[in-house]
Structure 1
């Protein structure tokens, strides 16, 4: 049991023993007085020397306990404060991460969708190269050779020698030659050109791809050879006027 002495100081074990001694001494005196009541006035008082103690001694134990309790309370408070701080930091981090994610989502939602690139138009096939036109000399040799190539493409028979022989007999190689004295001339259709062909025959046996001018050397040769092939089998078979 604790007793309060001069404030809040409590008795220590030494003080309790001193108090017990005082109580025993007082009890003995009371017994003595009870045994010889008549001599009570003559019995001298028992002097009790008080035990020296201070309030500092009374509060030493409690002071130690109080410091320990305070340290424990402070540690608990510090731990609670640290937890609150840690919880606040974790919440702030989670809030920031959520805000960043939402901002990224909004940014992605606002990003315009790029249209798909247009498919390139299919490449147009290259136009076939124009055939290289064969060059021919602008003379009797070149005219005959060009005529032979055209006649061959049309399956019309003729030879270089047969054409040249008849050209030299009919016009001596002059593409502007004209006969104005024979029967054809008398009938108004004179013979013309290298192989001396009349206009009606030229038009009837004209070879496609050549000029319509009877004085044109190549046109004159090909039309005349076409006519000779029809009437005589080939210009090679013609040896006189035809």
Structure 2
């Protein structure tokens, strides 16, 4: 029993010593490592090849690290420059595309507006049906009055009608073969009994040159009466 007690005490003693020894070795190893990684100076290290080798190794390692970092920084700069150039090109392309799209949109809007304008113009410029007149005395007088109005020739429906009825009774083919004009070879003709020279002299542009044409005859006679009497309304007898 006592023998076992001594053995355990001895074991504990050895274990403590071992621990101390291990700690010492670790401390020495750390110191050696620190010594080899931290460059020394002329005042601290004076002799020994190991210290000089450590300094050279440390300097070389620092140079290698510095070179590696420099290379990495240079590579990153190139990458950043490349990215910036790519982004600039992409932005320019996007801007150009947006400008082209805006131009296309503007062209479409102008085309739509132009089509709308043409449509509006077509609506505003719908052809007006030509005015028609009855092929009788009333229609002839009314058509003559419209022509007289456009030419600035005075006269009224009543003034024309009363003179037509007195001169020809409304017969556009009437002809006077017994008065002095007939004797002279220029008989009066038509609704308002106009002689050929007078019809030719006072013919109104846009009407027929046929003296028997009702509208041409009325309009030429009204033009002559306006020149001589002021208006056909002032004629109440042979003129």
Shorter-chain TM-score bucket reads 0.5 to 0.7
Correspondence for 2:76:
93
Does 2:65 align with 1:68? no
2:162 alignment partner, SS class = helix
CA distance in 2, matches of 1:157, 1:94: 98
Cα displacement string for residues 2-23 of structure 1 (whole angstroms, at most 9, x for unaligned residues): xxxxxxxxxxxxxxxxxxxxxx
Which of 143, 147, 155 is residue 150 of structure 1 equivalent to? 147
Name the CA shift for 1:213/1:72 in 2 (closer, same or farther; >3 Å): farther
State how many pairs are aligned: 183
Q: Which residue of 2 aligns with 1:18?
A: none
- 2:134 is the alignment partner of 1:172: no
Question: Which of 184, 187, 191 is the matching residue for 2:188?
Answer: 191
**Structure 1 residue 218 corresponds to structure 2 residue 218:** no
CA distance in 1, matches of 2:77, 2:202: 102
- Which segment is superposed worse, 137-146 or 95-104? 95-104
- For 1:176 and 1:75, the matched residues in 2 are separated by 140
Structure with greater Cα Rg: 1
Q: 1:106 to 1:239 in 2, by over 3 A?
A: closer
SS of aligned partner of 1:191:
coil
In 1, the alpha carbon distance for the partners of 2:136 and 2:35 equals 131
State the TM-score, normalized to the length of structure 1.
0.52
Aligned to 2:138: 141
1:70 and 1:103 map into 2 onto residues whose CA distance is 52
SS where residue 167 of structure 1 aligns?
A: helix
Separation of aligned partners in 2, 1:154 and 1:97: 87
CA gap of 1:64–1:202, structure 2 versus 1, over 3 A, is same
Change (3 A) 1:234 1:106: closer
How far is 1:163 from its partner?
A: 1.4
Q: CA deviation at 1:97?
A: 0.9
For 1:230, the equivalent position in structure 2 comes to 227
What secondary structure sits across from 1:195 in the alignment? Answer: coil
Q: Which has the higher helix share?
A: 2
SS at 1:158 equivalent: coil
Distance 1:182 1:131 in 2: 46
